[in-house]
A and B are shown apart, each in its own frame.
Chain A
Amino acid sequence: MNATGIGAAVRRKEDQRFVTGKGHYTDDVNRPGQCHAYFLRSPHAHARIKRIETKAAAAMPGVLAVLTGVELAADKIGNLICGWMITSKDGSQMKMAAHPAIAHGKANYVGDPVAVVVAETLAQAKDAAEKVNVDYELLPALADPAKAQSEGAPQIHEIAARNTIYQWHLGEAKAVEVAFNSAKHVTKLDFINNRLVPNAIEPRAAIGEYDSGSESLTLWNTTQNPHVARLVMSAFVGLAPEHKLRVIAPDVGGGFGSKIFIYPEEVVCLWAARKVGRPVKWVAERSEAFLTDAHGRDHVTHAEMAFDAEGKATALRVKTIANLGAYMSTFSSSVPTYLYGTLLSGQYEIPAIYCEVDAVYTNTVPVDAYRGAGRPEATFVVERLIEVGAREMGIDPADLRKKNFIKNFPHQTPVIMTYDAGDYHASLKKALEVADYGGFGKRKRESARHDKLRGIGFSTYIEACGIAPSQAVGSLGCGVGLWESAEVRVNPTGTVEVLTGCHQHGQGHETTFAQVVSERLGIPLENVSVLHGDTDKVQFGMGTYGSRSGAVGISAIVKALDKIEAKAKKVAAHMLEAAEGDIVFADGKFTVAGTDKSSAWGEVALNAYTAHKFAGQELEPGLKEGAFYDPTNFTFPAGCHICEVEVDPQTGESEIVAWTAVDDFGTVINPMIVEGQVHGGIAQGVGQALLEGAVYDKDGQLVTGSLMDYCMPRAHDLPALKVEMTRTPSPSNPLGIKGCGEAGAIAAPVAVINAITDAIGSEDLAMPATAQAVWQALQKAQDRRKAA
């Protein structure tokens, strides 16, 4: 390892510009002649749009255009799409309703755009929007996913009877039934996986620009995957052919999934830019973000686990209703199916699993992938059942886990996945030590002395990352391949540019990707720059989500570096007048094996371009290579988190007093960055467990529409986190990387809930476990005890 290579905790290169305010975000971009868009949004969750009167608005000062769904349809702008086809158990295809960028005929959630005003200034656009007169006919609204399929529920889209998008299943129903019939113990739970608002610190933004000379469009956009955005906007929405559409994602301030998707606003900015002949900018306000960013989670679940007399899990049965909101967002269909059902085996050998998922429409903003996407929901199911099962059977929850852990790899689960490597005992063992599990009883007594209830909760989670082998996801209905691309350009002076199809929005790629190059080529970190996020500069790539940039994106870079090394060796062979096979490359030097003849990296790079030592016909000048990498399997990060809480029984407040995380991410490139990802993930998971929850009232109004009502975690909500690692490298990519971006958010929620329910002695507790919720659970438990 060199000082800046793989395994080195070097500081993030990009932080200097971020913390000194020199980042360059979409809102920092201002184009000559730029004007501003303001979206008029439906204040109703479900309403027919009978007529929109725009004349008065169009006459307001500074107004350039007032556009509605009528003009959008007239210009044949296509609908937004969901790119993953799910097939129902009866063989029918999912019911994807039309999703126009501006509502046409009917508004289906509060925040659905019904018109856009383009004006010289934002204030003028807002003033004019107040003069747009929309004649709505109110329709009964549906906000509760549990009621979506009931008789008499409002029908949202004609295409989907009883608001049902699909009824998917996975696994063997019969085998599960047989196992349940002979079970010694069955643990049953009903719960809701609470709906979350992503709240990236940078709100979404877009600038559309039309160049009439070249008839091409440019979009600056807060996106995690500029090429995918371009593909969808070209092939489906039909804004421009791909080669006439450039998408630039500059610095992006957090995504957590919410910036994967193709949203109405960017489509409208491009379309409007062409219509008014000027660049059109839109930046979401925080309240707009609450109303329109795709939300996460929102499952209603019943789950049962069967155990035999020894406490071995014999079967798992899960029935989930997943709320996908008013329209199907870009990848929404895959989240509660292939990113959820396939992880229901957890870290355990469960012989039979059967999972059914009904996805439904409601009059709420679309729901799609959010940090963890499906896997936090799966982890919650499995880890709650194991924990509660242990309590019901009187077995120590750590022991029950050990008894059921998968020990041999590869392991084929009953739900598609083949786990290729892992050591679940190792991470649990280490976590028990770090958390001083043995001393818990003493700490609990200590807490009791100052009137606090102490509890401990586990989460031995697993996730599937590094999405994903293209053939595999293709066979499951995905409309794109999930490989990644890289190009490595060596300059004549030996400095290197890496062009990656991934996109960074907080992950530190500019550092970790450069570390891989530094290690491989033996050059200083500052001689490597990482370019991403511009479809005109970077070859087609799939973007960043699903903890894939390390496992897939870096693998593509490694593949390109292999080619670079091979070519450079050829150049060196000519320079050193030796056979190519005799050239050894190490520590940034090309040496003729067994001699002291060598050339430095920089000399070889220069020679590749001067081409003075070889005939350009037999060996091409230059040193630049590209690669596409398609993984052979998912990767399976896993680990053990232990949360300890103290509950104040008088107020119901829970304080997290200790947290241990032992994760197995395979090979780690920068331990400091990985720890940071774990910290952030845990904070988000704690947010879901204790604080966050989007609430729609029965009329479909978002009650938690601002940070005054929707609580994000703050520093004081967390203790000092103890983060440790174990390592079993992934056999499915060249460096053995597994991915770490989502682990914390996946592991954390259930660890918190397991801890609080342990403390209060009642399993009847929903997320977010606010002080009030915990107090109510305590009251109910007390009432039950009194009644008994």
Chain B
Amino acid sequence: MYAFTQHRPATVRQAASLLAKQEEAKLLAGGHTLIPTMKLRLAGPKHLVDLSKVEGLSGIEMKGRSLTIGAMTTHVEVQTSPVVRENIPALAELAGKIGDPAVRHRGTIGGSLANNDPNADYPAAALGLGATIITNKRRIPADEFFKGLFETALEPDEIVTKVQFPKVNKAAYVKFPNPASRYALVGVFVSKRSSEIRVVVTGAGANGVFRVTAFEEALKKRFGAKSLEGLTVPADGMASDIHGSAEYRAHLIGVLARRAVAAAG
């Protein structure tokens, strides 16, 4: 690790101003991505703006038909929240499948979305539920938020403060973990909200999380696993590495999508 200065702002405004003013500054949330890269000297920010003491960034709240989760809410809080379990159980289940207990107790939803790891789980839920990412500056629909591998619509001094999820009729997430890292080798999130159906894939795409429109169309006719039978995703555009070839990932998308639809009921 290189030397750095740690700042502990109390408000989002202070955090944003530190981020804008200090050269080579980075936000620190759960630190479960940032700290390992710093330890390996792959990242060397001069300033860390620690969000742990910032007011109003964590918490879970259901208002009307929308579930709001603060950016600093940890995975285990989402996993075990009665509010989430009641309103969007698939989201609680997804959070419970992230990494291991240590990761779930430190990692945050804001950090995960801002990081947009192509194998992370939360991007699948955000896009799969049609969430809105709320920052200190604006509201960004999930459809416009994820821009590629580790790329998002966030500007350099923009801070995710909340994520808003609409309540849906049905949803499920099926994850095929990479046995070593436990990240998703492939994960498929499906949801149905009145006429809107989303089938979202994480882990597999060469360009990060994406929707499978062909599957969505098929499910619009009838929301059932059978509707997906025989449908495949082309291997073109899939990621390929020692853990899974493009063909295998494409194949798994079909299998997991059917299982997810079945699980969504």
Interface, chain A (partner B; CB < 8 A)? 123, 126-127, 287, 650-651, 691, 695, 703-704, 707-712, 770-772, 775-776
Contacts and interface: CB of A to CB of B under 8 A. Distances in A.
Contacts of B195: none
B243 interface: yes
Given A651-B255, A775-B248, A707 B180 contact: yes
Contacts of A775: 248, 251
Contact of B40 (A287, A710, A771, A776): A287
Contacts of B136: none
Given A287-B40, A709-B243, A691 B255 contact: no
Contacts of B180: 691, 707-712
B179 interface: yes
B145 to A, nearest CB: 25
Nearest to A717: B179
A770 B181 contact: no
B252 interface: yes
16 contacts: A123-B1, A123-B3, A127-B2, A651-B255, A691-B179, A695-B242, A703-B242, A704-B242, A707-B180, A708-B181, A711-B180, A772-B243, A772-B244, A772-B245, A772-B248, A776-B248
Interface in B18-42: 40-41
Most buried by B among A126, A691, A703, A771: A771
Contacts of A709: 180-181, 242-243
Interface string B240-265: 00111100100110010000000000
Nearest to B179: A711
A214 to B, nearest CB: 39
Contacts of B183: 708
Given A123-B1, A704-B242, A775-B248, A651 B40 contact: no
A-B interface, 7 closest residue pairs, ranked by CB to CB distance from nearest: A711-B180, A708-B181, A711-B179, A650-B255, A772-B248, A695-B242, A772-B244
A423 B251 CA distance: 48
User: Looking at chain B, what size class is its interface with the partner chain?
Assistant: 10 to 19
A703 B181 CA distance: 14
Contacts of B244: 772
B259 to A, nearest CB: 9
Could you say which of B40, B179, B252 has the most chain A C-beta atoms within 10 Å of its C-beta? B179
A630 B40 CA distance: 48
A662 B136 CA distance: 64
A401 to B, nearest CB: 32
A706 B244 CA distance: 17
Contacts of B252: 651
Contacts of A651: 176, 252, 255
Interface string B1-22: 1110000000000000000000
B179 to A, nearest CB: 5
Contacts of A691: 179-180
A626 to B, nearest CB: 48
A4 to B, nearest CB: 38
Nearest to B100: A714
- Quick one: which of A704, A712, A775 has the most chain B CB within 10 A? A775
Nearest to A707: B180
Interface in B88-142: none
Contacts of B41: 126
Contacts of A650: 255
A248 B118 CA distance: 47
Given A708-B180, A712-B180, 17 more contacts: A126-B41, A127-B2, A287-B40, A651-B176, A651-B255, A691-B179, A703-B242, A704-B242, A707-B181, A708-B181, A708-B183, A709-B181, A709-B242, A771-B179, A772-B244, A772-B245, A775-B251
A711 B177 CA distance: 12
Interface in B218-249: 242-245, 248
A126 B180 CA distance: 28
A126 B1 CA distance: 9
A21 B1 CA distance: 26
A691 B180 CA distance: 8
A365 to B, nearest CB: 18
Nearest to B176: A651
A650 B255 CA distance: 7
Contacts of A703: 242
A674 B252 CA distance: 41
Contacts of B176: 651, 771
A66 B41 CA distance: 21
B42 to A, nearest CB: 11
A771 B1 CA distance: 36
A123 B242 CA distance: 33
Contacts of A123: 1, 3
A532 B136 CA distance: 62
A127 B41 CA distance: 10
A41 to B, nearest CB: 14
Contacts of B179: 691, 711, 770-771
Contacts of B255: 650-651
A717 B92 CA distance: 24
B66 to A, nearest CB: 35
Contacts of B248: 772, 775-776
B50 to A, nearest CB: 21
Interface in B176-221: 176, 179-181, 183
A673 to B, nearest CB: 29
B203 to A, nearest CB: 13
Contacts of B251: 775
Contacts of B2: 127
A518 B1 CA distance: 51
A461 B120 CA distance: 42
A695 B180 CA distance: 14
A291 to B, nearest CB: 13
Nearest to A770: B179
Interface in B21-79: 40-41
Interface in B145-202: 176, 179-181, 183
A557 to B, nearest CB: 42
Nearest to A693: B242
B128 to A, nearest CB: 20
Contacts of A711: 179-180
Contacts of A708: 180-181, 183
A287 B179 CA distance: 19
Contacts of B40: 287
A397 to B, nearest CB: 28
Contacts of B245: 772
Contacts of A126: 41
A772 B244 CA distance: 7
B84 to A, nearest CB: 25
Contacts of A776: 248
A6 to B, nearest CB: 41
A2 B163 CA distance: 66
A126 B2 CA distance: 9
A284 B244 CA distance: 30
A143 to B, nearest CB: 14
Nearest to A697: B242
A123 B38 CA distance: 13
In this complex, which of A287, A703, A711, A712 has the most chain B Cβ atoms within 10 angstroms of its Cβ? Answer: A711
